[in-house]
Amino acid sequence: MNGYTLGAKGCLLRLFPLSDVRALLVGHHPPGTLDIGDALRGEGATVQTCTTNHDTLRMLVEDPVDVVLVHSRATHEQGVLLANEIRTLHPDVAVLLLVEKPTLESAIGAVAAGVSRYLVEPLSGAELREAVRCAVKTTRWRMLGPAAVGRQAGATAFSSAQLDRAIMGLYVAWQPIISAGDGRTLGFEALARSSEPEMNPGRLFELAEATGRLVELGRVLRSLVAADLPRLPADTLAFVNVHVDEVRDNTLVSGLDPLSDFAGSVVLELTERSSLERVPDAAERVHALRGLGYRIAIDDLGAGYAGLSALARFTPEFAKIDMSLVRGLQGDPLRRRLVRMLAVMCAEIGVPVVAEGIEHEDELAAVREAGCTHVQGHFLGRPGPLA
């Protein structure tokens, strides 16, 4: 359907991607049933949790969400009462009620309370995601009106078709990362490229984010990287960019990803442009990635506060200084001081620093003088096949 997936209820499921959804999960999932939070986070949704009705209503005031999922494990009446309060105070929030043992009374009560979906556990991840998408679609349709939703649908379909073509033409180019001291090759960064005309990397990821398909794009790219890695030169590392949404992808964290076979020689670059603060269990997930053998790098250091926060929180194996600080460094005393400060700070905690985007000999000399231990850029080697 040209970028859409029809659910059992006839909903256009790609219209509102889960990466665009904020959810609140009330209660605990019963043993042996689907972990709702993980199932939604794995598709890019932002999920908060709470355990009491009072906290639920407070959180909805402080931080509005699109959908509330209520486990009514204790008594169905409590779940229905909470759903009724939510719908009364926040009519634009979708409410899903999850029950273990459905009864006619609870179903009638749920309908009267305005519950969007009445779900019986155990249920599959696909059933859950469809229910959430349909519920959010319905409430946004009511809020925006059919015309606005129709325009969004058309734009999403067009962008998804562009992205489909770009993914078909994906390939990986590799750029060397070199020691600033002795010129040895530390490793190579995997850079996404597409044969689709006018599809530069910025546009590629912009489309993926706009259509809620960043996780899908990341999985395809990691598969391409894994196919190249048997040709990685001995004793070198592969640096692979990972968006914050991919950190929430259970395929990557669980070790089921094709890249996990090469984890010992892979450095995952976490970009600071998408703050890991969006991932509540980021520390646990980064720990799990290290447990699989991956090393961690903080990318784009110096482009904002988030990278400094991640540097302190995760103590990465590498830090990469953003090219916006490196370009023209030799003629800018203030930026030279900033880069030197970042390099000294990283040296004090034992983190090697890579200066990105070097295009001239003067820039190379300036970052060496500033204390950067490794360098990367067109002056040192252009992206190309891994030979």
pLDDT band at 13 (very low <50, low <70, confident <90, very high): very low
List the single range of 161-165, 219-223, 238-242, 304-308 with lowest mean pLDDT. 304-308
Predicted local confidence at residue 64, as pLDDT: 78
Predicted local confidence at residue 153, as pLDDT: 46
Burial 178-209 (b: 16+ CB within 10 A, else e): bebeeeebbbbbbbbbbebeebeeeebbebbb
Predicted local confidence at residue 195, as pLDDT: 92
**Could you tell me if 291 and 321 are in contact, meaning their C-beta atoms sit under 8 angstroms apart?**
no
Reply yes or no: is the peptide bond before residue 122 cis, omega within 30 of 0.
Answer: yes
Which residue, chain included where needed, has tokens 């603060």?
A: 277
| 119 has pLDDT over 50 | yes
Kindly report the backbone phi and psi dihedral angles of residue 92, in degrees, each rounded to the nearest multiple of 5, phi listed first.
-95, 5
Which pLDDT tens digit goes with each residue over 281-293?
888 999 999 999 9
- In the chain, the percentage of residues whose pLDDT exceeds 70 is 80
**Could you tell me if 314 and 349 are in contact, meaning their C-beta atoms sit under 8 angstroms apart?**
no
pLDDT band at 259 (very low <50, low <70, confident <90, very high): very high
Cβ of 127: how many Cβ atoms within 10 Å? 17
List the single range of 1-10, 295-304, 359-368 with lowest mean pLDDT. 1-10
pLDDT band at 60 (very low <50, low <70, confident <90, very high): confident
Q: To the nearest whole number, what is the mean pLDDT of the chain?
A: 80
- Alpha carbon 197 to chain centroid, angstroms: 26
**Could you tell me if 24 and 181 are in contact, meaning their C-beta atoms sit under 8 angstroms apart?**
no
pLDDT band at 277 (very low <50, low <70, confident <90, very high): low
| 2 has pLDDT over 50 | no
Which pLDDT tens digit goes with each residue over 184-195?
999 999 999 999
Which residue, chain included where needed, has tokens 């779900």?
A: 119
290 to 227, 244, 259, 296: CA distances (angstroms): 21, 16, 13, 8
**Could you tell me if 1 and 92 are in contact, meaning their C-beta atoms sit under 8 angstroms apart?**
no
Which pLDDT tens digit goes with each residue over 71-116?
765 455 667 777 777 777 777 778 888 877 766 666 666 666 667 6
CA–CA gap between residue 255 and residue 240 (Å, rounded):
16
0.75 surpassed by pTM: no
